[in-house]
Amino acid sequence: MRRHRNVKIVATLGPASSEKHMIRALFEAGADVFRLNMSHGSHDDHRARYDAIREIEVETGRPIAILADLQGPKLRVGAFAAGPVDLAEGAPFRFDLDPAPGDATRVQLPHPEIFAALIEGSNLLVNDGKIRLRVEKCGPDFAECVVTVSGTISDRKGVNVPDVVLPLAALSKKDRADLEFACELGVDWLALSFVQRAEDVEEAKVLARGRAAVLSKIEKPAAVRAFDDILKVSDGIMVARGDLGVELPVHSVPPIQKRLVRLCRSAAKPVIVATQMLESMIESPMPTRAEVSDVANAIYEGADAVMLSAESAAGSFPIEAVKTMDAVARSVEADPNYRSIIEAARKASLSSVPDAIVTAAREIAETTDVAAICAFTQSGTTVNLVARERPRVPILALSPEESVLRRMCLTWGTHCVITPRLSRFKEAVVNATRAARKFGFADESRKIVVMAGVPFNVAGTTNILRIAPCDDRLIFATDPE
């Protein structure tokens, strides 16, 4: 099943998409990666979805990536004695550690870490930013505030603290249990919530022990400020615009998104643009024009993947949402302006032999009649370098490591093919030629670029490039010597 687009689609599974037949339908509609949201559902629920995906993988012969999205710490107020309370603009309001039910003047905020970080003038946002309060006075167990944006506050509403770095680990006790469960299950990617600093990512990678790649969710202002350091230690990035738009002025999110996507591409690390992309399709079979433009803009920017959340997890039209994203992606990538925009954002990077090899492969593909770039990879690094170039021809990622190919399903432009473990470059050429013909990327009249490293089966050794014909001499070769 070949995708006729380069950008990948991430679909979240949930109550509307838990059955195997629905997951299969989402895959056939265009989903490349399935997201398990650890904020909802039990471990048994996620295990059943995981098993269904792996069965579909066997049935279709295509690697499928599975991403487990960790919940992260949830900061919430306590309960109110008499139900919801209206907070008027200019009114005083107090947060403290007292567990007594709240009223119109105060409520418990059971997070001493917040009080430890607050300073006068800090802002507290409640209920996704619908209510805003400014700190006038604070101590280790309280914060006296004034309401700057009025609204109704009620039990267990979430709290955001955008102005300070909170002394909280990105991994709660629940997250640690979920991380171990997901790694033992065999997921390919872990999405880390509440990232504020590079150390948060490093802690998750230590716990993962290489069993899954770690993707950092950029959803807090502190993460935007520390992005360069976070990117260095992350395997991938998710631009989580929903929370960013709560903690930052909403008009600042689009330029941040554009900057982060470009930095990820320059670093040859996959980036997902996420949240509220086709929000109206939770209840409607048709998206709004603004939503279609939002998805299109992420693709024009060069994102590796775009993501569906509630649209596919709990909406009434999950398959239609995936098909819509697929159609938008095909339309954008067929636009001549797409190529000019993507290529204008390309930056030369010739700091290593693999950099030079992938740059040469892309230039050859653009100036000769080459049907595809076939990259053999042991760790996925070479394929990510090829994808960074955003070539005009498809990328075949070939590897004997199934786990590597599954992770590559998130990378722009890749079609992943499992191969035998090879020992000679001639074997690589034969296998690449067969794969290009088998999956419809080339016929006997075309040529392909083959990239590999010698010695084989060693990560980071990409050092050979060859232009190979796809004629029958190689297709039917029985002796790779």
Reported as half-sphere exposure (CB side, CA atoms, 13 A), residue 433 has a value of 23
* 222, containing H or E segment: helix 221-225
Neighbours of 307 (CB within 10 A): 29
* 441, containing H or E segment: none
* Cα dist from 131 to 102, 156, 248, whole Å: 16, 14, 14
Reported as half-sphere exposure (CB side, CA atoms, 13 A), residue 46 has a value of 25
What tokens were used for 2? 């070949």
Q: Is 217 one of the catalytic residues?
A: yes
Q: Is 362 one of the catalytic residues?
A: no
Contact assessment for residue 135 and residue 150, using Cβ atoms and an 8 Å cutoff: no
Angle at alpha carbon of residue 357, lines to 352 and 362, rounded to 5°: 130
**Does residue 133 sit in helix, strand or coil?**
strand
The amino acid occupying position 445 is S
Distance CA 214, CA 193 (A): 11
Contacts of 397 (CB under 8 A, 6+ apart): 375, 377, 380, 383, 405, 408, 411, 414, 415, 416, 417
Q: Is 275 one of the catalytic residues?
A: yes
The single residue of 12, 275, 377, 419 carrying the catalytic annotation is 275
Q: Is 76 one of the catalytic residues?
A: yes
Closest CA to 452 of 400, 391, 392: 400
Angle at alpha carbon of residue 272, lines to 267 and 275, rounded to 5°: 145
The single residue of 5, 8, 35, 406 carrying the catalytic annotation is 35
**Does residue 210 sit in helix, strand or coil?**
coil
The single residue of 217, 388, 390, 437 carrying the catalytic annotation is 217
The single residue of 20, 24, 54, 76 carrying the catalytic annotation is 76
Distance CA 57, CA 63 (A): 6
What tokens were used for 464? 């050979």
Q: Which residues are known to be catalytic?
A: 35, 76, 217, 275
